[in-house]
Amino acid sequence: MLTKLADMKRIISLIFLLVGFLTFAWAQEETVEETVVEKDKPVRSPFESGYLIDQQTSVIKVPKTLEFVIQHKFGTVENGRSDLWGIYAPGANIRLGLNYVVAKNLQAGWGITKKNMYNDFNLKWTLLEQTRQNTIPVSVTLYGNVAIDSRSKKIFEEQQYWHSSDPDGVHTLHEYRWSQRLSYFSQLIIGRKFGEKLSLQAGASFSHYNLVDHTGDHDKIAAHLGGRFKFSPQSSLLFNFDLPLKIKNISEQREWTNHPKENLALGWEISTSTHAFQIYISAADGIVPQDMVMFNQNDWKNKGLCMGFVITRLWNF
Partner 1 sequence: MSFIGLQDQKKGGPWDVPAAYKSKKAPASTAQSVNLGKMLWAKHCKSCHGNNGLGDGPKAASLKTSPGNFKAAEFQGQPDGAIYYQSFVGRDEMPNFEKKVVDEEERWALVHFIRTLK
Residue placing its CB nearer to partner 1 in the complex, 62 or 155: 62
Phi-psi region of 84 (alpha: psi -120 to 50; beta: other; left: phi over 0): left
Residue placing its CB nearer to partner 1 in the complex, 9 or 41: 41
Give the number of residues in contact with partner 1, rule: CB under 8 A. 13
Taking CB under 8 A as the criterion, the residue among 134, 297, 302, 316 binding partner 1 is 316
Using the rule CB under 8 A, is 302 a contact of partner 1?
no
CA–CA separation, 43 and 288 (whole Å): 29
Residue placing its CB nearer to partner 1 in the complex, 247 or 270: 270
Is residue 313 a contact partner of residue 67, using CB atoms and an 8 Å limit? Answer: yes
Of residues 233-272, those binding partner 1 (CB under 8 A): 233-234, 271-272
Using the rule CB under 8 A, is 197 a contact of partner 1?
no
Minimum distance from residue 232 beta carbon to partner 1 (Å): 8
Residue placing its CB nearer to partner 1 in the complex, 133 or 258: 133
Using the rule CB under 8 A, is 41 a contact of partner 1?
yes
CA–CA separation, 308 and 96 (whole Å): 14
Minimum distance from residue 45 beta carbon to partner 1 (Å): 9
Taking CB under 8 A as the criterion, the residue among 17, 62, 173, 198 binding partner 1 is 62
* Interface ranges with partner 1 (CB under 8 A): 41, 44, 62, 64-65, 232-234, 271-274, 316
